[in-house]
Structure 1
Amino acid sequence: MLGIKVPKRRGAREDGEKPFWISFSDLMTALMVLFLVAMAVALMAVTQGLAEIKKSTEEREKTIESCVADLDALTRLAEFKGVSVRGHSIDFGKLVQFQDREHKFEKPGDEHFVRKFVPRVLDVARSAKCEKWLKRVVVEGFASKTGDYLFNLNLSYQRSQRVLCALLSTQAADTLSTADRSLIQTLFLAGGSSFNTASGDAAQMRRVEIKLEFRDLGSAKEAPPDIPLDPGLRCPNDR
């Protein structure tokens, strides 16, 4: 007679299985904590970035102010009395003027004064604090607010060009050094205007200014152009 197989008794199962998923409320709590941590990190990064930008901006402004202050100090020298610094512009006033409706200097001494003063400006431009932010120098000539606009516009540009001719000339007894002429050729630009001054004095419209332009924060410094040095034997304004 075959025996009846009795199944082996197993241990009693647990009444309930352990849960695999966390509850919805716990999930939302975890996500909220993760969001708050991410926001805190982002805010710290933004705050730190703004602080660095503010610091760099202040350092740039102080450096430029110190550079301009050095230029202003030049105008206090007895030999340069009459030159003034307004903002980032150097105004020669009545020390350098042009003949009426002409781009020629009013007096021979005006040209010599330009060649005497500008090298001192270049010395300041070469300093570490100025060189770091200086972008270019614009020689801006002025012309009358009355008369033909295009004629005056061209005249103001020719007056700017006349100053550059004086600086790059190699025919004068007080010719600038090769280093100075090379820096002028790569750093200076000629500009002109016929009406953007509030001065009512006609003589003040026959003048020239030197304007310094500085790089913006974060802008890369451009490499100086490789331009052969002009021999300075001929000025296009003489033709």
Structure 2
Amino acid sequence: MFGMRASAAQRPKSEGEKPFWISYADLMTALMILFLVVMVASLVMMTQRIEAIEQGEKARANDIAHLCQRLQIKAQGLNRDIVVDCRDNRINFGEAGRFGYNDHKLGPDGQTALRQVVPLVIDAALSDEGKRWFKQVLIEGFTDTDGSYLYNLHLSLQRSEWVMCTMLDDRFATTSGLSQEQKRHVRELFLAGGVSFNNAKDSKEASRRVELRLQFYGLKDSTSGTRPVSFAATGAEKCLLL
């Protein structure tokens, strides 16, 4: 009888343990399923985000390519010296855009090429693609390897500043051929910057040149479509380099 009583007393304890272990296993299974669901959802969201970025980059590249190609066709129709490189987004002027030794001024052919290309760049910036992606135009003046680094850096800056002055100075209104509205866009878009001899060509003559580098907003740039004004000038503008 004592054995039967002991067995009867132990039975409820054994039966009480079984529901606990079953519920714990179910809990772990549920947590594992929940973890898998969260991981799958995260992977799907990441995949969609990557696809959206890739599509955005592709659309941006297509817009910039179309903009540059139109600019290239228009420039070729005006002047053969003007070369629009859509791979590097650069505009060079061939021999017309070369400077003399220790000189920061372009000749008449260079001034003519500038007068022709600047309105085209402004039109490109005001196009639908340009309003979305066009950031600015960097005027880069290059030098040869003669002289010290600081000397060439100063000379290259003078060359890029001279190009800016030629477009804006009121004394050269007839030379630049730009209206006041176009000059306003020049102030918004163009930026003068010295380069020195960091990108020398095969010959020293070819190295002494000016180029326009087209810069565009990136996909993540919050300022896209709200281009800031570089500087504002009032009254008559005069440049000491001219």
| Superposed pair shares fold, TM > 0.5 | yes
Q: Identify the residue that residue 224 of structure 1 maps to in structure 2.
A: 228
What's the TM-score once normalised by structure 2's chain length?
0.83
Please report how far the alpha carbon of residue 204 of structure 1 lies from its aligned counterpart in structure 2 after TM superposition: 1.2
Aligned pair partner of 1:209 in 204, 208, 211: 211
Q: Deviations over 1:202-224 (max 9, x none)?
A: 22122100001111111111552
Structure 1's consecutive aligned runs of 4 or more residues displaced over 6 angstroms after TM superposition are 15-18
2:4 aligns with none
C-alpha spacing 1:207/1:223, structure 2 compared with 1 (3 Å): closer
Contact (CA 8 Å) 1:170, 1:176: kept in 2 or not? no
> Sequence identity of aligned pairs in percent?
36
Q: Is 2:61 the partner of 1:61?
A: yes
| Higher mean displacement: 108-117 or 134-143 | 108-117
Q: d(CA) in 2 for partners of 1:58 and 1:228? A: 35
Q: Which amino acid aligns with 2:100?
A: Q
Structure 1 unaligned blocks of 5 or more: 1-14
- Determine whether 1:82 maps to 2:86: no
Distance 1:212 1:226 in 2: 15
- The SS at the match of 1:158 is helix
The structure that is helix-richer by fraction is 2
Matching residue of 1:173:
174
SS at match of 2:103: coil
Whether the 8 Å contact between 1:168 and 1:232 is mirrored in structure 2 is no
Residue 196 of structure 1 deviates from its aligned partner by: 2.1
Task: Tell me how far 1:228 sits from its aligned partner.
Answer: 2.9
Residue in structure 1 matched with residue 184 of structure 2 by the alignment: 182
RMSD of the TM alignment (CA)?
Answer: 2.2
Q: Deviations over 1:37-86 (max 9, x none)?
A: 11111111111111111111111111111111112112321x31121122
SS at 2:140 equivalent: strand
Contact 1:140-1:209 at 8 Å conserved across structures: yes
Contact 2:142 2:207 in 1 (8 A): yes
Partner of 1:102: helix, strand, or coil?
coil
Paired residue type of 1:93 = G
Give the aligned partner of residue 193 of structure 1.
195
In the TM superposition, residue 22 of structure 1 has moved relative to its aligned partner by: 5.1
Larger radius of gyration: 1
Per-residue Cα deviation, 1:129-174 (whole angstroms, up to 9, x for no partner): 1221111110000111121221111101100001001111222324
1:44 paired residue number: 44
Aligned in 2, Cα 1:55/1:168: closer, same or farther, shift over 3 Å? same
Q: Distance in 2 between matches of 1:162 and 1:100?
A: 15
How far apart in 2 are the matches of 1:48 and 1:121? Answer: 36
Provide the residue aligned with 2:94 in structure 1.
93
Q: List runs of 5+ in structure 2 lacking aligned partners.
A: 1-11
- Distance apart, 1:112 and its partner CA: 3.2
Q: Do 2:200 and 2:207's aligned partners in 1 also have CA atoms closer than 8 Å?
A: no
Residue 145 of structure 1 is matched in structure 2 by: 145
Number of matched residues? 222
Q: For residue 159 of structure 1, what is the aligned residue in structure 2?
A: 159
Are the aligned partners of 1:165 and 1:232 in contact in 2 as well (CA < 8 Å)?
no
Displacement of 1:230 in angstroms is 4.8
1:145 is paired with a residue of what secondary structure? coil
Give me the whole-angstrom Cα distance separating, in 2, the residues matched to 1:80 and 1:109: 10
Per-residue CA shift, 1:1-40, capped at 9, x if unaligned? xxxxxxxxxxxxxx98895885222111111111111111
Given that 2:97 and 2:209 are in contact with CA atoms closer than 8 Å, whether structure 1 keeps it comes out as: yes
Query: For residues 230 and 191 of structure 2, what CA distance do their matches in structure 1 show?
Result: 15
| Contact preservation (8 Å) 1:170, 1:231 | no
SS where residue 241 of structure 2 aligns?
helix
